[in-house]
Structure 1
Amino acid sequence: MLRSVRVLGPAVLLAVALIATLAGLGYGGGASPLPIQDPGPVVRWGLPVAKLVVNLGAAGMIGALVLAVWALSPKRREFDVALDVAAASAAVLTVAGGATTIFTFLIVTGAPFELSEAFGQRLGQFVTEIELGQAWLTTTLVAAAVSVLCFAVRNPTALVFVTVLAAAALVPMAQQGHAAGAAGHDAAITSLGLHLVFVSAWLGGLVTIVLLRRELDAERLPVVLARYSTVALVSFIVVALSGYASAALRIGTWQELGTPYGVLVVVKVAALIAIGLFGAVLRRFVIGRMSRAGEGLETRPRSAGAPRPAGVVGAFWILVVAELAFMGIASGVATALARTATPVSEDPGSLARTPAEILTGESLPPWPDWWRYFTEWSPDLIWLLVCGFGIFFYVAGVVRLRRRGDAWPVYRTVLWVSGLVVLAYITSGGVNVYEGYLFSAHMGAHMALTMAVPVLLVPGAPVTLAARAIHPRKDGSRGGREWILIAVHSRYAAVIANPIVAAALFASSLWIFYYTPLFRWAMIDHLGHEWMIVHFLITGYLFVQSLIGIDPVPYRLPYPFRLVLLLGTMALHAFFGLAIMSGTGLLLAEWYGAMGWGTDALADQQVGGGIAWSVGEIPTVALAITVAMQWARSDEKESRRLDRHADRTGDAELDEYNARLAAIAEHDRQG
């Protein structure tokens, strides 16, 4: 069993996934003949199989990279083997991506495959000019780049960027999935993207551990498994929530669960629940027993007559193979779902009734009375998960400190939780509903992201808490504490955390964003919208951190200069608001000026300028008061320090000073 598990585990995964894919296609009709320009059974069945290989290749690539940067030590051979697995998986993804591109071209055009110059020209036009072809070409090229980088890069810090690039290979797939052009477009992209990335980390990480069996001895295996189980638990939560969001968009009502698409969703949910139960058993029972008993993949010699420690080990590998089998079911069914017709129509043309719906792809929300901002919701799953995990891990760190007798101020926890709650509301509440239609709502969200949320988050001192609460690694690998400290103490962080640079980024971002094509990108593209949130949040956090931050930074200005920097920066901020208020030209007129609500878009833009000018003053006053209070406390601490020093030395410095004055006076008298 132990010797064959490296072959048995992946073989079971592949076989079960292929069977589940074919069965799901047959049941859901995903490979049925097309009514017009049917490409033939080879293409109809070959495309889903190629996509299955794409998904498995992406899983091996991302899972191995995540395991390498999170759980494995660069000082051990396990690290190099994991990168070899990632490189091989990326190569598989590259080949499967190329095959999927060709199959997609054949099924879209209905043209027969042939080795001719004309066919090559049409295929080249498909991958360079058509959005669907461009998406698959991007995925294929990125996978090829990752395959090369996994061989060339062995530095753990650089591998983080390779991992991000690997995850980016799935973005085009998410943008071309089900409901990409229907109502709920942004939510569909978000949920599918999260689903693909975290399923890959979950499945690929387990497969990598199986392939690393020879490199993980009895003591090392429980350590790596414990670290992987954290990744698996987070992935399970994200996959469950994103899967629910995707199913809700595509199914619509509970009655539609009886459709072929709904039945396949139920099968996939059942498989994921089974996988979650396997993971819970592994985390709660098996890993703990292996760690305590020193059992695992036993390679050390045994004395004569000693029993072979195969109880926990055998149970562990049986559970792993069974979990891979259910992962194969989930992967195969998911591949079949991608080719199965959804109960909810995905035709965007049925929604194009008003100019606003043509621009946004969404039905118009109710008229924005003030109370609508607190009753309407448009959840952004990415930021709901960020806020939820941020609150959980912060509170878990505080609890860990208190259990070992260390103190942590309550106000820091309250401010941190409040900041993330406000962030969740801004990104998923009524403001998020209306910011795509009204410039004033958009500017309100901007002010909250750059000023209100950072003013609450910065005093929470998350870096200090992480450095104190997270256990350090001693095997050369990098966990949460190590990665946070590396990021904080990097040269890049030293530059952008400089108070002058942070203030310049904070002030210039306003003018650059709204008076360049970045504004348009953030409104028409969901990726641009997410980038906008990240950028404004980071620039605001860095600026507030330079003024009142508790976490360590390379350099801090003296308190008087902090007040000067605050007033100067906010003066530029106020000038921006006044420029918007007094402007006679409409920003992004093809968007806000074409919504068709019958409102005066220029007047609404001037209201947004007033929000930028006036609402920003409230956090400014709070920051000024906080800087003044910290200044007073610093002077008080310095006075107490000098008093304690004087008590210890018996006012030696004062006596010496008085003696020096007396000597000077005597010298003057004698002269």
Structure 2
Amino acid sequence: MTRTAVDTRPGAVRADGPPRWIATPVGRWRILAASAVVGVVALVVAIALTGAATPTLLADPGPLVRWGLPVVDLVVELAAATTVGALVLCAVILPPPPPDAPPSGRPARVRPVGAAWRLSQRIAAAAGVVWTLALAVQLVLTYARVSGRPIGGPTFGEEISVFLGQIELGRLLLTGLVLTALVALLAVAVGGTLSATFAVVLAMVALAPVASTGHASGAANHEVAVSSLWLHLAGVTLWIGGLAILVAVAGALGRDLRPAAARYSSLAIWAYALVAVSGVANAAIRLGGLDGLATPYGRLVLAKAAATLALGVAGWWHRRRTIPRLTQGRTAAFWRLVVGEVLLAGGVMGLAVALSSTAPPVPDTPLVDVPPAEWITGYPVPDHGPSGLDWFTTWRPDLLVLIGVVSALVVVLTWYRRLRARGDHWPVLRVVSLAVGLLLIAWVSSGGPALYGHLLFSAHMVQHMVLVMLAPIFLVLGAPVTLAVRALPARDDGSRGPRELLLGLVHSRWAGFFANPVVAAVNIVGSMILFYYTPLLLLALTNHWVHLWMIVHFTLAGYMFVNVLIGIDPGPRRPGYPLRLLLLFATMAFHAFFGLALMEGTQLLAAPWYGALGLPWGVDALADQKLGGGFTWGFGEVPSLLLAIALGTAWIRDDDRTARRLDRKADRDGDADLAAYNAMLAARSGPGGGAPGEDVSDGATPDASAAHRATPDA
């Protein structure tokens, strides 16, 4: 096992380590504690200026609740960022200890490989517990705040139970608490990069209930507000949490500092972009216009934006100046800037919590005195049904999906340029195909189909069929996995980067199971039956997270199925062309049967939604459902026909390649296979000109007859 020597002389500064003032554990924890203090000071000052903790005239919960809840909110944010940041460093930044590494210790003069990874894992475990406990306290204080009563009393526990079981806010807080507790348990059990990756994913899921409890700017922008807040929380925890953990493990990084800083810098760029875009979206929703900037809430937004911009400038300076100098052993400037960022980040988080505690200019009130359709859907309803151009000129943006599509397009173009820069060829048509597939997903999730899909079942089926049958064709023909594997750099230090994670996923047992041809076909058929003939359709219409799951699930199901048929990317062994055509025709038959069932059905699906809209242009919901069934039947045949043509073409080309390969082999060995076959037939015919009982009256010699019979196989 490789070890790195450590100079322990007083006042020494190692070439591969941080300066003295951050090299000791006491120095590092002082810095982190100072960042937390800066956050608390910023929070208290901001709340005092905005009056968010001013006593209410009616049902005042008391100063303990009014001031305690924002402070606990800040503890929750800091603990969440610390947990996620530490897990991310374990998952994709730091090299883990080798399998034969001894248990973690504190040697005096040597540092084992993976020491920073182990320290990061311990921090994640401890922070996860703090996160869970702080959420429990936050839940109690939140109930006291919304109910307007102080903590305590003989009935307080019973009231909390009702709040958690019957009130939506309480259920969301309880769900977040349970998910966070699971994150804490998994963080304690993390033993490698794979389990750390699972913990990061679960932590991102645990942020979803928190995003659903923030300011929603009224029901009219609920989905955009929820998506933007989740993106904001995810970006902040990845960005600020990772930065804080770099400080916490500074003394254990050693020569891993340079690659860890470079990897974190790349991750921080994406996280910062998420924070910036989602922050602008949140501000636009809650301010209600430029006039909102003159309010106390608006002034906090400006202060937070200025601090966030300063952090972005610091990150840019890292990439240009300090990180490149790490190879020369010049670490002091890097760590000074990191410490400044950590202190400023504490202030940013304090301002963010103050914002969440301050009433925005646009009040978070339910819609009143609006038509039924607007009250149910939460957004203004068009005054006419969809026409030809309306499908392409009307928009209802889904921020989460749009950011995902734009990010994917940027990544694909970056990979393509990287391959071209090093002289590798990659077909332009594959890039175009990927772009078309991604744009189709953006269209059905944020364009006309998204706007009318919540109003008309037929428009919803447009969304479904494009996601399942059309967009996957373009995605598969673009060969994204092959492009990624060729463009992404490989790591040799034991850590898992994007390339290693992707290959691990592609070759995992789960991927192999769902990519099995029969399973892929059954997945599409079974998913449609399960989704449309259970309450899942209604849940997707009423719950934004279920709606997002629908988009992801059906897109992946379609991708898996199309990849089995005409895929270019590596994956499980594909069946022969006859079985592929059989699976395709079976799926086509199911779509026809499903469409016919919708056309002949007399029961309205998701009746509490589609049946109660009362659209202004007058719509027979059942007749529209039958129209959706007809579209499913008719449209489903078009992509299936394209797939059948592609399969037939690929089959012919495969036969041609096989024939050419056999011809080349015959030219090299003098057609040895045919000669051996003829010799075998001649031996079987016997010396008498034929086997016993064989009729050779046609006059053909045994050898000629054998050669004649062998010709078709040749």
User: TM-score, normalization: structure 1?
Assistant: 0.94
Counterpart pick for 1:586 among 580, 604, 608: 604
1:270 shift after superposition? 0.9
Q: Could you say which residue in structure 1 is the equivalent of 2:275? A: 239
Q: Could you say which residue in structure 2 is the equivalent of 1:19? A: 41
| Contact kept? 1:8, 1:321, Cα under 8 Å | no
Whether 1:334 and 2:352 are equivalent positions in the alignment is: yes
Give me the whole-angstrom Cα distance separating, in 2, the residues matched to 1:540 and 1:475: 36
Counterpart pick for 1:56 among 78, 103, 106: 78
Give me the whole-angstrom Cα distance separating, in 1, the residues matched to 2:186 and 2:635: 47
Q: CA RMSD in A?
A: 1.7
Give me the whole-angstrom Cα distance separating, in 2, the residues matched to 1:414 and 1:35: 62
Q: Could you say which residue in structure 2 is the equivalent of 1:353? A: 370
**Residues 62 and 661 (structure 1), Cα distance of their counterparts in 2 relative to 1, 3 Å cut:** same
In the alignment, residue 324 of structure 2 is paired with which amino acid? Answer: G
Give me the whole-angstrom Cα distance separating, in 2, the residues matched to 1:281 and 1:668: 93
Q: Could you say which residue in structure 2 is the equivalent of 1:10? A: 32
Whether 1:560 and 2:608 are equivalent positions in the alignment is: no
In the alignment, residue 82 of structure 1 is paired with which amino acid? Answer: S
Q: Could you say which residue in structure 2 is the equivalent of 1:299? A: none
Give me the whole-angstrom Cα distance separating, in 2, the residues matched to 1:91 and 1:209: 20
Spell out the pairing of 1:115-264 with structure 2 (5 A cutoff): 116-179=153-216, 181-217=218-254, 219-264=255-300
In the alignment, residue 150 of structure 1 is paired with which amino acid? Answer: A
Whether 1:285 and 2:321 are equivalent positions in the alignment is: yes
Counterpart pick for 2:650 among 624, 630, 634: 630
**Residues 648 and 405 (structure 1), Cα distance of their counterparts in 2 relative to 1, 3 Å cut:** farther
Secondary structure of 1:125 counterpart? helix
| Contact kept? 2:228, 2:278, Cα under 8 Å | yes
Counterpart pick for 1:609 among 614, 629, 632: 629
Secondary structure of 1:37 counterpart? coil
1:667 shift after superposition? 3.0
Spell out the pairing of 1:296-445 with structure 2 (5 A cutoff): 312-350=330-368, 352-367=369-384, 368-445=386-463
Counterpart pick for 1:92 among 124, 130, 135: 130
In the alignment, residue 502 of structure 2 is paired with which amino acid? Answer: I
Q: Could you say which residue in structure 1 is the equivalent of 2:52? A: 30
In the alignment, residue 77 of structure 1 is paired with which amino acid? Answer: A
Give me the whole-angstrom Cα distance separating, in 2, the residues matched to 1:173 and 1:85: 22
Give me the whole-angstrom Cα distance separating, in 2, the residues matched to 1:581 and 1:198: 45
In the alignment, residue 390 of structure 2 is paired with which amino acid? Answer: R
Q: Could you say which residue in structure 2 is the equivalent of 1:464? A: 482
Secondary structure of 2:23 counterpart? coil
1:138 shift after superposition? 2.8
1:325 shift after superposition? 2.2
Give me the whole-angstrom Cα distance separating, in 2, the residues matched to 1:239 and 1:270: 13
In the alignment, residue 213 of structure 1 is paired with which amino acid? Answer: A
Give me the whole-angstrom Cα distance separating, in 1, the residues matched to 2:429 and 2:352: 46
Q: Could you say which residue in structure 2 is the equivalent of 1:308? A: none
Give me the whole-angstrom Cα distance separating, in 2, the residues matched to 1:169 and 1:239: 18
Q: Could you say which residue in structure 2 is the equivalent of 1:577? A: 595
Whether 1:83 and 2:101 are equivalent positions in the alignment is: no
**376-385 or 138-147: bigger deviation:** 138-147
In the alignment, residue 32 of structure 1 is paired with which amino acid? Answer: T
| 1:395-415 CA-partner distances (Å, limit 9, x unpaired) | 222222222222212221110
1:196 shift after superposition? 0.7
| Contact kept? 2:85, 2:239, Cα under 8 Å | yes
Q: Could you say which residue in structure 1 is the equivalent of 2:666? A: 646
Give me the whole-angstrom Cα distance separating, in 2, the residues matched to 1:391 and 1:636: 35
In the alignment, residue 382 of structure 2 is paired with which amino acid? Answer: P
In the alignment, residue 439 of structure 1 is paired with which amino acid? Answer: F
Secondary structure of 1:31 counterpart? coil
1:381 shift after superposition? 1.4
Secondary structure of 1:615 counterpart? helix
| Contact kept? 1:33, 1:40, Cα under 8 Å | yes
1:112 shift after superposition? 2.4
**Count of paired positions:** 650
| Contact kept? 2:61, 2:151, Cα under 8 Å | no
Give me the whole-angstrom Cα distance separating, in 1, the residues matched to 2:155 and 2:291: 48
Give me the whole-angstrom Cα distance separating, in 1, the residues matched to 2:403 and 2:443: 12
Q: Could you say which residue in structure 2 is the equivalent of 1:303? A: none
| Contact kept? 1:13, 1:325, Cα under 8 Å | yes
1:328 shift after superposition? 1.6
Secondary structure of 1:608 counterpart? helix
Spell out the pairing of 1:497-508 with structure 2 (5 A cutoff): 497-508=515-526
Secondary structure of 1:433 counterpart? helix
Give me the whole-angstrom Cα distance separating, in 1, the residues matched to 2:468 and 2:643: 13
| Contact kept? 1:12, 1:324, Cα under 8 Å | no
1:370 shift after superposition? 2.4
1:220 shift after superposition? 0.9
**Residues 204 and 412 (structure 1), Cα distance of their counterparts in 2 relative to 1, 3 Å cut:** same
In the alignment, residue 615 of structure 1 is paired with which amino acid? Answer: F
| Contact kept? 2:60, 2:150, Cα under 8 Å | no
Give me the whole-angstrom Cα distance separating, in 2, the residues matched to 1:123 and 1:70: 40
| 1:64-120 CA-partner distances (Å, limit 9, x unpaired) | 111111112222122221111111111221222122122212222222223x54222
Q: Could you say which residue in structure 1 is the equivalent of 2:711? A: none
Q: Could you say which residue in structure 2 is the equivalent of 1:300? A: none
1:200 shift after superposition? 0.5
Identity of aligned residues (%): 46
Q: Could you say which residue in structure 1 is the equivalent of 2:18? A: none
Q: Could you say which residue in structure 1 is the equivalent of 2:143? A: 105
| Contact kept? 1:126, 1:133, Cα under 8 Å | yes
Q: Could you say which residue in structure 1 is the equivalent of 2:110? A: none
Secondary structure of 2:689 counterpart? helix
Whether 1:496 and 2:497 are equivalent positions in the alignment is: no
| Contact kept? 2:85, 2:241, Cα under 8 Å | yes
Gaps of at least 5 residues in structure 1 are 296-311
Give me the whole-angstrom Cα distance separating, in 2, the residues matched to 1:668 and 1:426: 76
**Residues 272 and 650 (structure 1), Cα distance of their counterparts in 2 relative to 1, 3 Å cut:** same
1:668 shift after superposition? 4.5
| Contact kept? 2:217, 2:285, Cα under 8 Å | no
| 1:354-395 CA-partner distances (Å, limit 9, x unpaired) | 111221122213422221221111111111121112122222
User: TM-score, normalization: structure 2?
Assistant: 0.88
Give me the whole-angstrom Cα distance separating, in 2, the residues matched to 1:231 and 1:272: 16
1:212 shift after superposition? 0.6
Secondary structure of 1:363 counterpart? coil
Secondary structure of 1:393 counterpart? helix
Secondary structure of 2:22 counterpart? coil
| Contact kept? 1:10, 1:207, Cα under 8 Å | yes
Spell out the pairing of 1:541-556 with structure 2 (5 A cutoff): 541-556=559-574
Give me the whole-angstrom Cα distance separating, in 1, the residues matched to 2:453 and 2:272: 32
| Contact kept? 1:415, 1:460, Cα under 8 Å | yes
1:540 shift after superposition? 0.6
| Contact kept? 1:12, 1:321, Cα under 8 Å | no
